[in-house]
Structures are given as structure tokens and as C-alpha cells.
Structure 1
Amino acid sequence: MNQIKQMFELQQKLNDATNGIIWTEGATKDGRQISWLRCIYMEAAEAIDSFNWKHWKDIEGQPDLDNAKVELVDIWHFIMSEAIHFGDTGFAEAYENMEPEREVNPELMVEILEKMVAAAAGANVDKSQNALYEITSIFFKALANMSMDVPELYKRYIVKNQLNTFRQDHGYKDGSYVKMWGGVEDNVVAFNIMDEHPDLTPEQLYKKLEEEYKQ
């Protein structure tokens, strides 16, 4: 199975567990309306903040590329969710062998992310628009510009997907979940596990998270 197809299947499973199978109709099992497009443009705006764009503050600061990658993975969660909701996931497999750029261009990255904000926000306001394919194309341009390929996206996605699943299974919604594990944030713990064991399956990673959480 190719990695993009597997990510879609994992996202479907996570959304079903988190929001109930009714989520594909546009609402959670609790009756909350879902706007994946809003999720996309809000995360894209957060990704822009990873780059030193403010002319009045920290003008010598360097881009936070690690955080930008984290934000891109979050955006991918929401793009896949919008695609599943729309009813078309196969189109994204065309990007399986996309080629990354050798160097990151921060100025171009901000421009790409702004295009994503504009496309997602515009489609969210004008419901007659279907911006899914445009947004996905923009996303993979952003991915390439960050020197990321699909295997790296997959690795990072698996970590966040299994961590999100783990959180939901351990009281994230009711507030009983503990996010700091021995003084280290769960995100960091999860990525450290994957760095040490890069060939873990999603199920094996989940078991490793359980072992760490109990300590």
C-alpha cells in the first residue's frame, strides 16, 4: 500500500473515533459543526508565524523550520479530512513521488502559505467553490519547498496520528490526560521514539507510547 493511501485510512479511523462516523456529514457526534477549511487556513497562518516576517520585532531572528514542518503535518490532517468529507481521496496519490527542493526558501514559503490561506478562506466563505484540489496542490508545493518528501511526511504524520489517537484514548477530551511525561512534552517523546525506531509500524509506535506513559 502506498503511503498516501495509508495516511488517508488512518485519518478516517482517527476522525471516526474522535467525532463519530457522522463527521463525514459535516458535524461531530456532539452536534458541533466542522469546518476543515477553517482548520486549514488557521494552521497555515500559524505556519507563517514560523518565519521571521515581522518588521518591528526580532528582525535578526531565524525561521523556525522544525515548527513549520509540524504545522504542515497538522495542515495535512485537515486536508485529508476535507477530502474524505468531499468524497475523493484517490487524487492525492498522484503526489506520491513528488520531488523536494534542496534548500528552503523562507520568502517563497510565506507566499505559498498565504496562497493556501486565501484559497481555504475564500472557499469557506463562498460555499459554491471547491478549492480542495487547489489547496492540495499548494500544500505539496509547500512540502517541496521545505525539502520534505512523502516518506518524511508519512513518518511525521504517523507520529502525530498515533499520538492524537493515544490522547483521545487517555482522557484528552475530559481533561484527565497528562501532556508532560517526566517533564517532557508528549510530542517530543513521540518523535524521539520514532527517531530511535524509524521502522516502527503505527501499532508498534502506539505500544511504545503506552510504555512511556506508564512510567
Structure 2
Amino acid sequence: MNQIEQMFILQKQLNDETNGEVWLTGVTRENREISWYRGIYMEVAEAIDSFNWKHWKNIDDQPDWDNIRVELVDIWHFVMSESIRISDQEYANKFLMLEPKGSFDVEILVDSLEEMLSLSVASSIQSETNNIRKITDLFFTIISHLDIDIENLYKRYVVKNQLNTFRQQNGYKDGSYIKNWDGVEDNVVAFEIMDSNPSITPSDLYKKLDSKYSLIKQI
């Protein structure tokens, strides 16, 4: 099993744990409509906002590359979810041998993100329109320009996947979850664990999150 297939399995497990398999019909446990496309375009907007496009601010500042990478991983969660929903997850395997360009070309990246935003909005508004394959193509184009290969994407995804699972199992939905861990956001803590243990398994990462969080709750 390759790393793309493993990510799809982890994503389905997360969605199943969050809402049960009813999510495959397009609704939550509470019978609320799920729009993965809305999730995509909201995260895309946040990624675009990291490119210092505001002319009334210092546009010579460097883009927030770290946040852009984080937003791309969030986008990937939603892309996979929609692909699973329509049973088209095998399509992404065409990118298994992705060659990163590492150009960090702002024009290409912003244009690709804006196209992704437009496609996801169109699919969200018109239920009969499904642009997930086009969005998948754009996603892998974007990460290649950010010098992210499949192995790197897998590591980043596992961190966020396990953190999302941890959040769900520790009161994220009812608002009791503590996102700021002793002055540091949980995202940062999770990635620091991965950086310190590059070969860590998803289950061991979860255990480390649980150990650190138990100390926060005692404060």
C-alpha cells in the first residue's frame, strides 16, 4: 500500500469516527449537510491571504510559507473526503511519483489557488457539478511548487490527521477542547513532535499528543 492510499484510509477513519459512515451520504450525524467544497474554498482563501496581496500593507514582505503549507494540508483533507464520497480516490495515485519543482513561484501559486477557489465555489453552488479531479490536479501542482513531495505530504498529513482525531476525541465539538497548549497552538506542538521523531507512527504520535495534553489539563 502506497502513502497516498494510506492517507485515504486515515481520512475515511477520521470521517467515520466523527460522523459515522452516514457522512458518505453527504450529511452529519445530526443530519446537517456536509459541503467538502466549502471547506476547500475557505482554506484556499486562507492560503491566498498568506501571500501579502494587500497593497495597503508592506507587499515586499515574504509570503507566510509555513502557514501556506498548513492550509494546503487542510485542503487535502477536504479533497480526499470528496473523492472518497464519490468513490474516486484512486485518481490521486497518478501523482505518486510527483517531482517537486521547488520554484516558490508566487504568480503560479496564487493563480492556481484562485482557480481552485473558483472551481470549488462552482461545485458548492451547483450540486451537479463535480470538479474534484481538476482540483486534485491543481493541488499537486501547487505542492510541487512548494517543494513538497508525496513523502513530505504524507508526514504533514499524518500530523494534522492525528491532531484532528485527537481534537474530536477530546471535546472539540462541544467546545471543551483546549487549543492553546501553554502558550503554543496545538498545530505547532504536533509538528514539533513529528520534526523530533521523523519516523514516528500515527499511533505513537497520538500517544505523545495525549501525554502532552494531559499536562495542560492539569494546569
User: TM-score per shorter chain, which class?
Assistant: over 0.9
1:178 is the counterpart of 2:178: yes
Q: Which residue of 2 is the match for residue 145 of structure 1? A: 145
1:199 is the counterpart of 2:184: no
Q: More deviation in 175-184 or 149-158?
A: 175-184
Describe the SS at the equivalent of 1:27.
coil
What code does the residue aligned with 1:130 have? N
Structure 1: 5+ residue runs without aligned partners?
A: none
Report matched runs for 1:149-164 at 5 Å. 149-164=149-164
Q: Which residue of 2 is the match for residue 105 of structure 1? A: 105
* Aligned CA-pair RMSD: 1.0
1:60 to partner: Cα distance: 2.3
Q: Which residue of 1 is the match for residue 122 of structure 2? A: 122
Measure the CA separation in 1 of the matches of 2:20 and 2:42.
23
Q: Which residue of 2 is the match for residue 76 of structure 1? A: 76
Measure the CA separation in 2 of the matches of 1:187 and 1:139.
21
Q: Which residue of 2 is the match for residue 167 of structure 1? A: 167
Describe the SS at the equivalent of 2:50.
coil
Normalized against structure 1, the TM-score is what? 0.97
1:207 to partner: Cα distance: 0.7
Q: Deviations over 1:2-56 (max 9, x none)?
A: 1100000000000011122100000000111001111111111111011011222
Report matched runs for 1:4-83 at 5 Å. 4-83=4-83
Measure the CA separation in 2 of the matches of 1:52 and 1:209.
33
Q: Deviations over 1:134-169 (max 9, x none)?
A: 110011011111111111111110000000101111
Describe the SS at the equivalent of 1:115.
helix
What code does the residue aligned with 1:43 have? E
1:61 to partner: Cα distance: 1.8
Structure 2: 5+ residue runs without aligned partners?
A: none
Q: More deviation in 174-183 or 189-198?
A: 174-183
Number of equivalenced pairs: 215
Measure the CA separation in 1 of the matches of 2:188 and 2:124.
33
Normalized against structure 2, the TM-score is what? 0.95
Measure the CA separation in 1 of the matches of 2:11 and 2:83.
11
1:193 to partner: Cα distance: 0.5
Distance 1:127 1:174, change over 3 A: closer
Measure the CA separation in 2 of the matches of 1:181 and 1:130.
39
